[in-house]
Amino acid sequence: MSPQTFLEDFHHVANIGSTPHHGVDRQAATPDDQRARDWFTAFAKERGWTIRVDGIGNLFALITLRPGAPFIIVGSHLDSQPLGGRFDGAYGVIAALHAAERVERRARETGERPEFNLAVVDWFNEEGGRFAPSIMGSSVFAGIKDREEMLAVRDLAGTRVAEALDSIGYLGPDEGPEAAGYAEIHIEQGRILERESLTIGAVDSSWYTQKLDIEVNGEQSHTGATAMADRRDALLAAAKIISMVHDVTLGFPAEELVSSVGQLTVEPNSPIVVARHAHLVADLRSNSREIVHQARDTLRRQIAELAEAARLDISVRDFDIRENQYYPESGVELTLDIATELGIGARRMQTMAGHDSVAMNRIVPSVMIFIPSEGGVSHCEREFTSDADMLAGLEVLSEVVHRLVHGALAPSLLPGAQGRA
Amino acid sequence: MSPQTFLEDFHHVANIGSTPHHGVDRQAATPDDQRARDWFTAFAKERGWTIRVDGIGNLFALITLRPGAPFIIVGSHLDSQPLGGRFDGAYGVIAALHAAERVERRARETGERPEFNLAVVDWFNEEGGRFAPSIMGSSVFAGIKDREEMLAVRDLAGTRVAEALDSIGYLGPDEGPEAAGYAEIHIEQGRILERESLTIGAVDSSWYTQKLDIEVNGEQSHTGATAMADRRDALLAAAKIISMVHDVTLGFPAEELVSSVGQLTVEPNSPIVVARHAHLVADLRSNSREIVHQARDTLRRQIAELAEAARLDISVRDFDIRENQYYPESGVELTLDIATELGIGARRMQTMAGHDSVAMNRIVPSVMIFIPSEGGVSHCEREFTSDADMLAGLEVLSEVVHRLVHGALAPSLLPGAQGRA
């Protein structure tokens, strides 16, 4: 299949749920997500591949290369953030479909006998913008999250995951394929490759991350009649906490800790009422577990002091803790070797962000590959990666998948065989 | 009519839209607002009064005392804040109905011939929690706001005022009565009467108030992949502005300026996305126009500096500016005299909060009376005023309305006749 065909497919999918400024708004289990999935399904069926949809909406296309063997799975996600970019996730799925087609054709043409079968996947709800938590489908597949619990998660309109999936026809009856390995390609969402003029990142580990769920309970009162000294203002306290969450990063070397608050709800949220309640979610990330723990402890102490001083009831709960994950060294080297063979500039790197591969790496050897994203911009309409970088990534992924179905990483599953590939 | 009957009526209305902690949630033009209005209508019809509903949903009960003469209007509002208190507004309407009944009976029994007719009013949407701005119905009646513009205002669900009023059957075809004067009784929503153990406040003026509508435009990006230095975080800036709006009060003597932000919306409001947009409304109030202007200028300068430093686009718009209003001195003295005659402790005072009487005072001489509210608490379920204070207020209001229909304030309308009453 030609590079031109890949680019046509990519731009076709980018038009599903497209937004005025070249982004996409294709949140999980919406009609636009359905249309993207229907396109995936049609792509697979045209090639005679078998479609399977599991009970959390993960969509698989199975390609038999060695009847009865387990599967190398390759893919990413077609859902997006609200007003998100057209590359995040979708690039990885479309590249996976095209890489799989190449690997299948090569196997047929050469008569080689691969070790494993091959499956392409569109994981359900990687983004978590509509239904929290993120990385939902792959986490259920990997056994890290409970399927029934995830099916009961509701969006802000009260719709459950199960209902939403059913309404788009993707709450499936199938088991997923038995996995032997996993590969994913994704935009970097950072500036390292761009800064070093490199095209491929071989991801060796993920950052330690955690969130804090913070509830502030004050007292509702009239802005036009309540003395300043008598107020117990939940929104003012939330504002101070948002500043604290930012300022805690200043206690560490630049960029070693990143933090943010992206979500805040206020009740009753009326212009002339002092707010009685605020709910916010803080996000802390570092390569160092120790730094995240220090920042968390500092914030908990500062928030307790604020609650005392402002006569508020503030609860802080740790959640969504993700330990550092290390991808198999053999897979990192495989990616770097292939890039070198193809004459493509590459380096090893980390990911600050979570990905489906972080979940999959818990159960099978997984390979994570990055390509550049201009300005490091992501989760917005301005996200951009050049056609040339996308095609270079497709070349590398195709070769990685070819070697994986031929058993490149399988020995690392056996004790004492680490790093042989 | 006995005090007991008044209390029964008050507690009956408090059960319409009641909340678990003794408050009410009876927002404008909701089914519970309709039920409260239906109760008002039934009360009036049982007494042979004439019901009129005007084109912005103001509900009037007309009592003819002198055919062809204009009307003294007395009332307040039956709508509430979301999770509001049961006294704010409703007390004034129910006290007005009972006062009107007393005044009418007294006129019939004594054969006196009043100067004016009498009307009781439930103004539409005083609170402004569902449809902004507040004080909507009386402002349209007073010609300060445009009716068509107000009918087109939408709530957060997109419903227009006109549709909402029509759906509860209170978008009326009538003209309101011709006004000659206005009286209103309301809970203080502050602590002055409580602190001084007084029962009646004769309101002589209202504070200068204004709002600032603030839009922050940043850039949406991924919390887990965007370096701190590269972020343009709209929510972090909004949090800093909320703190500025609070801290600006510290530059003035305590309680001479009160400020708050009660409303904030964030987009896209996702836990793992740096917000691209935040919208907030700041509220500034002081007796001194000069203090509000100084505070506003300081905030505008600080916000411009923040926009520059954080590479954000922040717009600030002045709106809802309300000049100090002075109630006629003759009405203040009337209230104080009547309280003295009845042996009820009283003082003159100001109102920080806006009221329907502030709008009415623009077109006719208006009398505004306060009774205590425990702890100064208001716009929340905990709002409380004792039965004894409510009944004392009813006594004072009844006598004030009696004298108004007999022309107590009319001379003040004539040049050179100020303060004669």
CA dist., res. A307 & res. B391, Å (int): 39
Q: Residue B156: what residue type?
A: L
Beta-carbon count within 10 A of A20 CB: 7
Q: Are A421 and A330 within 8 A, CB to CB? A: yes
Q: What is the mean pLDDT of residues B89-101?
A: 98
Contact assignment for A128 to B271 by CB distance below 8 Å: yes
Q: How confident is the model at residue B1 (pLDDT cuts 50, 70, 90)?
A: low
Q: Residue B278: what residue type?
A: A
Q: By CA distance, what is A355's nearest residue in B?
A: B224
DSSP B255: T
Q: How confident is the model at residue B411 (pLDDT cuts 50, 70, 90)?
A: low
Q: What is the mean pLDDT of residues B329-357?
A: 96
- Looking from the CA of A59 toward its CB, the CA atoms found within 13 Å total 30
Q: Is the pLDDT of residue B307 over 90?
A: yes
Query: Given B83, B224, B263, which is nearest A354 (Cβ)?
Result: B224
Tokens of residue A167, six digits: 């309404």
Distance from the Cα of B178 to chain A's closest Cα (Å) equals 30
CA dist., res. B121 & res. B97, Å (int): 9
Q: Which of A215, A216, A299 is nearest to A257 (CA)?
A: A299
CA dist., res. B194 & res. B148, Å (int): 42
Query: Given A128, A236, A254, which is nearest B242 (Cβ)?
Result: A236
Q: What is the mean pLDDT of residues A18-25?
A: 93
* Cα of B143 vs its chain's centroid, Å: 17
Beta-carbon count within 10 A of B155 CB: 18
For the stretch A239-258, pLDDT in tens is: 999 999 999 999 999 999 99
Query: Given B267, B281, B380, which is nearest A271 (Cβ)?
Result: B281
CA dist., res. B370 & res. B348, Å (int): 10
Q: Which of B250, B247, B248, B319 is nearest to B279 (CA)?
A: B319
For the stretch A347-403, pLDDT in tens is: 999 998 889 999 999 999 999 999 999 988 888 888 999 999 999 999 999 999 999
Whole-number mean pLDDT of chain B? 93
Q: Which residues of B touch A224 (CB under 8 A)?
A: 189, 207, 209, 258, 283, 285, 352-354
Q: Are B62 and B119 within 8 A, CB to CB? A: yes
Contact assignment for A224 to B381 by CB distance below 8 Å: no
Phi, psi for B214 (deg, rounded to 5): -120, 125
Q: Which residues of A touch B354 (CB under 8 A)?
A: 224
The least confident of A406-410, B139-143, B305-309 is A406-410
* Cα of A82 vs its chain's centroid, Å: 14
The least confident of A75-84, A409-418, B162-171, B384-393 is A409-418
Q: Which of B336, B335, B327, B395 is nearest to B363 (CA)?
A: B327
Query: Given B128, B228, B378, which is nearest A226 (Cβ)?
Result: B378
Tokens of residue B148, six digits: 């068509």
Q: Which residues of B touch A380 (CB under 8 A)?
A: 219-221, 276
Q: How confident is the model at residue B418 (pLDDT cuts 50, 70, 90)?
A: very low
Q: Are A403 and A411 within 8 A, CB to CB? A: no
CA dist., res. B3 & res. B9, Å (int): 10
Tokens of residue B121, six digits: 């009013």
Query: Given A220, A268, A283, which is nearest B271 (Cβ)?
Result: A283
SS3 B163: helix
pLDDT of residue B201: 98
pLDDT of residue A1: 56
Q: Which CATH superfamily is domain B3-207+324-413 in?
A: Zn peptidases (3.40.630.10)
* Intrachain domains B3-207+324-413 and B208-322 with the same fold: no
Distance from the Cα of B41 to chain A's closest Cα (Å) equals 29
For A312, residues 6+ apart whose C-beta sits below 8 A from its C-beta are: A216, A217, A218, A232, A234, A237, A306
Q: How confident is the model at residue B403 (pLDDT cuts 50, 70, 90)?
A: very high
Q: Show the DSSP H helices in B62-143 as ranges.
A: 90-110, 136-141
CA dist., res. A67 & res. B78, Å (int): 74
CA dist., res. B410 & res. B304, Å (int): 50
Q: What is the mean pLDDT of residues B247-271?
A: 94
pLDDT of residue B225: 78
Q: Is the pLDDT of residue B31 over 60?
A: yes
Contact assignment for B235 to A134 by CB distance below 8 Å: no
pLDDT of residue A411: 52
Contact assignment for A233 to B260 by CB distance below 8 Å: yes
Query: Given A273, A376, A380, which is nearest B81 (Cβ)?
Result: A273
CA dist., res. B97 & res. A239, Å (int): 44
Q: Which residues of B touch A261 (CB under 8 A)?
A: 235-236, 239
CA dist., res. A24 & res. B317, Å (int): 32
Q: Is the pLDDT of residue A56 over 80?
A: yes
Q: Are A136 and A128 within 8 A, CB to CB? A: yes
Distance from the Cα of A265 to chain B's closest Cα (Å) equals 8
Q: How confident is the model at residue A2 (pLDDT cuts 50, 70, 90)?
A: confident
Fold for B208-322, please state it: Alpha-Beta Plaits (3.30.70)
Q: Which residues of A touch B246 (CB under 8 A)?
A: 233, 236
Q: Which residues of B touch A88 (CB under 8 A)?
A: 222
Percent of chain B with pLDDT over 70: 97
Q: Which residues of A touch B129 (CB under 8 A)?
A: 268, 270, 272-273
Tokens of residue B35, six digits: 């039920």
CA dist., res. B107 & res. B102, Å (int): 9
pLDDT of residue B408: 92
pLDDT of residue A416: 35
CA dist., res. B274 & res. A352, Å (int): 15
CA dist., res. B88 & res. B81, Å (int): 9
- Of the residues A219, A221, A306, the best mutation for testing chain B's interface (the one with the most B CB atoms within 10 Å of its CB) is A221
Contact assignment for A263 to B246 by CB distance below 8 Å: no
Q: By CA distance, what is B268's nearest residue in A?
A: A82
CA dist., res. B21 & res. B122, Å (int): 25
Residue boundaries of the structural domains of chain B: 3-207+324-413, 208-322
Q: Which residues of B touch A377 (CB under 8 A)?
A: 219, 221, 226
Contact assignment for A379 to B246 by CB distance below 8 Å: no
Q: Can you list the positions of beta strands (E) in B287-361?
A: 313-322, 325-326, 346-351
Q: Are A210 and A291 within 8 A, CB to CB? A: no
Distance from the Cα of B320 to chain A's closest Cα (Å) equals 11
Phi, psi for A280 (deg, rounded to 5): -140, 160
Q: How many residues does chain A have?
A: 421
Q: By CA distance, what is B211's nearest residue in A?
A: A271
Q: Which residues of A touch B223 (CB under 8 A)?
A: 258, 260, 262, 283, 285, 379
Q: What is the mean pLDDT of residues B87-102?
A: 98
Contact assignment for A262 to B223 by CB distance below 8 Å: yes
Q: What is the mean pLDDT of residues B268-272?
A: 88
Q: Which residues of A touch B258 (CB under 8 A)?
A: 223-224, 226-228
Q: Which residues of A touch B380 (CB under 8 A)?
A: 219-221, 276
CA dist., res. A365 & res. A407, Å (int): 11
Q: What stretch of H or E contains A109? A: helix A90-110
Q: Which residues of B251-275 are buried (b: 16+ CB within 10 A; e: fewer)?
A: eeeeeebbbbbbbbbbbbbbbbbbb
CA dist., res. B264 & res. A216, Å (int): 15
pTM: 0.79
Contact assignment for A263 to B242 by CB distance below 8 Å: no
Q: Is the pLDDT of residue A417 over 80?
A: no
pLDDT of residue B420: 29
Q: Which residues of B touch A82 (CB under 8 A)?
A: 267-268, 270, 273
CA dist., res. A203 & res. A331, Å (int): 9
State the pairing for strand pair A71-76/A117-122: parallel
Q: Is the pLDDT of residue B324 over 50?
A: yes
Q: Is the pLDDT of residue B416 over 80?
A: no
Q: How confident is the model at residue A288 (pLDDT cuts 50, 70, 90)?
A: very high
What sign results for the dihedral spanned by CA atoms A26, A31, A33, A35?
negative
Q: How confident is the model at residue A157 (pLDDT cuts 50, 70, 90)?
A: confident
Contact assignment for A269 to B261 by CB distance below 8 Å: no
Contact assignment for A224 to B353 by CB distance below 8 Å: yes
* Cα of A161 vs its chain's centroid, Å: 18
Query: Given B221, B258, B272, which is nearest A128 (Cβ)?
Result: B272
Query: Given B211, B352, B380, which is nearest A219 (Cβ)?
Result: B380
For B195, residues 6+ apart whose C-beta sits below 8 A from its C-beta are: none
For the stretch A44-54, pLDDT in tens is: 999 999 999 99
Contact assignment for B189 to A225 by CB distance below 8 Å: yes
Query: Given A228, A254, A379, which is nearest B273 (Cβ)?
Result: A379
Phi, psi for A154 (deg, rounded to 5): -110, 150
pLDDT of residue B413: 44
Tokens of residue B114, six digits: 């009043």
Distance from the Cα of A246 to chain B's closest Cα (Å) equals 8
Q: Is the pLDDT of residue A420 over 50?
A: no
Tokens of residue B355, six digits: 């009221």
pLDDT of residue B421: 28
Q: How confident is the model at residue B414 (pLDDT cuts 50, 70, 90)?
A: very low
Q: By CA distance, what is B274's nearest residue in A?
A: A262
For the stretch B157-193, pLDDT in tens is: 899 999 999 999 999 999 999 999 999 999 998 889 9
Its ipTM equals: 0.78
Distance from the Cα of A47 to chain B's closest Cα (Å) equals 35
Phi, psi for A192 (deg, rounded to 5): -65, -50
Contact assignment for A271 to B263 by CB distance below 8 Å: yes
B122: β partners: B59, B76
Burial (Cβ within 10 Å: 0-12, 13-18, ≥19) of residue B69 = middle
Percent of chain B with pLDDT over 90: 85
Q: Which residues of B touch A273 (CB under 8 A)?
A: 81-82, 129, 262, 379
Q: How many residues does chain B have?
A: 421
Q: By CA distance, what is A259's nearest residue in B?
A: B223
CA angle B313, B317, B321 (to 5 degrees): 165
Tokens of residue B119, six digits: 């009307």
